[in-house]
Amino acid sequence: MRVHEVGEFALIARLARRLEARLARSPLVVQGIGDDAALWRPTPGWLSVMTTDTMIEGVHFTAQTMQWRDLGWKSLAVNVSDLAAMAAEPRVAVVTIALTGEEDVEDIDALYDGMADLALEYGVQIIGGDTVRSSHLHIGFAVTGEVPEEGGSAEVLRRDAALPGDVLVITGHPGDAAAGLELLLRDAGAPWPALVAAHRRPQPRVAEARWLSRQGVRCATDSSDGLCQEVELLCAASGVAAWIDAARLPLSPALTAAFPERGVELALDGGEDYDLVMAVRPDDYATIQTAWQACFSVPLTAIGAFEAARAGQGRVEVRGYRGPRNGFQHFPVPR
Ligand code: ADP
Ligand code: MG
């Protein structure tokens, strides 16, 4: 059956039942789906963090590269990643779906199953939403999270806290998601499940970010638009510069095997990794690196350093790589 045959109210009721079947209601939710707005109880002593991000067919994904269930996962994951980048724990989410009406209802079920997969894994409650008609499919989330605040200072990760001398550190394997997308666009993803999964099912680094902030790390962002682009953002916000040593990029074995010539390019400028990019005080780095390995399986790698900004020079210098470069921007500035 098509969405327009089911109608808005029956669709919402169906999706609400589907979420309820998967997600046990947390005590912090006072009113979920069903009234004019949702009610939830913030944790005393914690700071609230809010974010919103939308995925639009033809802009952020195509049916060729994303299945419905992956789309549900990823549309919530990109928001949870923004909360992770602030060192927040995700709490509650509302979702707007814009549908043409021609979709199969079972596909919208699968979309919500993917949302529930992510919500279960990360402890998010989906407590409301909106359903509208549109010429293109959109899935937009607004997600609220919390960061502990003690004595007026929150354990938050900010973009503007990098200092010259800090180590430039990343989580995960940069470039895998971009590699997965390229393979999917060529219908060549099947031999590379890890790369395809990196694109379709990014794993927001929530626990990792909370842990890092407890170790005293204060500066990070998430890598949604490509590693170099994110380092630029940290540098611009902090008024510093940085260098990256291409030889230290932790390219995954799959990336190197699938793209023997282009691993570094994809790692530097491929987007949608949803890993953390951070500045760590040089005296803390060795201790953090050792303790990290006992806690997490994803790698933590020093790939460069921050330094004082110099007039007339670019903010981010890549050492040891002279190959092609490219980045993704919604509204590129003409050069
Ligand atoms: P209103 O007309 O007052 O905006 P809606 O019919 O849009 O009410 O929403 C009714 C209830 O269903 C609200 O709790 C809303 O948050 C929820 N809701 C609507 N659309 C969705 C959706 N796509 N997913 C989850 N919850 C939804
Ligand atoms: Mg509404």
pLDDT range class, residue 331, cuts 50, 70, 90: low
- Say yes or no to pLDDT of 67 above 80: yes
pLDDT range class, residue 12, cuts 50, 70, 90: very high
Question: Closest-lying ligand to the alpha carbon of 96?
Answer: 1
The whole-number average pLDDT for the span 105-130 is 98
- CA 177 to CA 257: how far, in whole Å? 14
| Residue minimizing CA distance to atom 11 of ligand 1 | 34
Question: Closest-lying ligand to the alpha carbon of 94?
Answer: 1
How far away, in angstroms, is 151 Cα from ligand 1 center?
38
Look at phi and psi of residue 180 and say left if phi exceeds 0, alpha if psi is from -120 to 50, else beta.
alpha
| Residue minimizing CA distance to atom 10 of ligand 1 | 34
Q: Is 36 in the pocket of ligand 1 (CB under 6 A)?
A: yes
The pLDDT value recorded for residue 285 is 98
Give the position, in ligand 1's atom list, of the atom nearest the Cα of 96.
Answer: 23
How far away, in angstroms, is 16 Cα from ligand 2 center?
14
How far away, in angstroms, is 129 Cα from ligand 1 center?
5
Lowest-pLDDT range of 105-109, 126-130, 149-153: 149-153
Instruction: Please report the DSSP string for 107-120 in residue order.
Output: HHHHHHHHHHHHHH
- Say yes or no to pLDDT of 246 above 90: yes
The pLDDT value recorded for residue 335 is 46
Q: What does the pLDDT look like over 188-236, one tens digit per residue? A: 999 999 999 999 999 999 999 999 999 999 999 999 999 999 999 999 9
Of the chain, the end-to-end C-alpha distance in Å amounts to 49
The whole-number average pLDDT for the span 172-181 is 98
Instruction: Please report the DSSP string for 76-104 in residue order.
Output: HHHHHHHHHTTTPEEEEEEEEEEE-S-SB
How far away, in angstroms, is 49 Cα from ligand 2 center?
23
Q: Is 23 in the pocket of ligand 1 (CB under 6 A)?
A: no
Report which of 178, 258, 160 is spatially closest to residue 223, judged by C-alpha positions: 178
The pLDDT value recorded for residue 334 is 55
pLDDT range class, residue 314, cuts 50, 70, 90: confident
Element of type H or E holding 247:
none
- Residue 222 near residue 177, CB atoms below 8 Å: no
pLDDT range class, residue 303, cuts 50, 70, 90: very high
Give the position, in ligand 1's atom list, of the atom nearest the Cα of 9.
Answer: 6
The whole-number average pLDDT for the span 26-52 is 96
Q: Is 128 in the pocket of ligand 1 (CB under 6 A)?
A: yes
Coil, helix or strand for 181? helix
Q: Is 130 in the pocket of ligand 1 (CB under 6 A)?
A: yes
The whole-number average pLDDT for the span 161-178 is 98
- CA 153 to CA 151: how far, in whole Å? 6
How far away, in angstroms, is 145 Cα from ligand 1 center?
21
Q: Which residues pair with 145 in a beta bridge?
A: 49, 90
- Residue 269 near residue 126, CB atoms below 8 Å: no
- CA 119 to CA 45: how far, in whole Å? 24
The pLDDT value recorded for residue 311 is 85
Token reading at 257? 């095997």
Burial 192-228 (b: 16+ CB within 10 A, else e): beebbbbbbbbbbbbebbbbbbeeebbbbbbbbbbbb
- Residue 163 near residue 112, CB atoms below 8 Å: no
| Residue minimizing CA distance to atom 20 of ligand 1 | 130
* Residues whose CB is less than 8 angstroms from the CB of residue 274 and which lie 6 or more positions away in sequence, other chains included: 77, 78, 81, 177, 202, 203, 204, 205, 222, 223, 224
pLDDT range class, residue 333, cuts 50, 70, 90: low
Q: What does the pLDDT look like over 274-292, one tens digit per residue? A: 999 999 999 999 999 999 9
The pLDDT value recorded for residue 325 is 85
Report which of 74, 181, 155 is spatially closest to residue 117, judged by C-alpha positions: 74
Mean pLDDT of all residues in the chain?
95
Rounded CA Rg of the chain: 21
| Helical axes 193-200 vs 176-185, angle rounded to 10° | 100
Question: Closest-lying ligand to the alpha carbon of 8?
Answer: 1
Give the position, in ligand 1's atom list, of the atom nearest the Cα of 33.
Answer: 14
Q: What percent of the chain has pLDDT over 90?
A: 92
Dihedral sign from CA coordinates of 293, 302, 197, 144:
positive
Q: Is 279 in the pocket of ligand 1 (CB under 6 A)?
A: no
Report which of 67, 130, 122 is spatially closest to residue 89, judged by C-alpha positions: 122
- Residue 300 near residue 232, CB atoms below 8 Å: no
The pLDDT value recorded for residue 312 is 80
- Residue 290 near residue 302, CB atoms below 8 Å: no
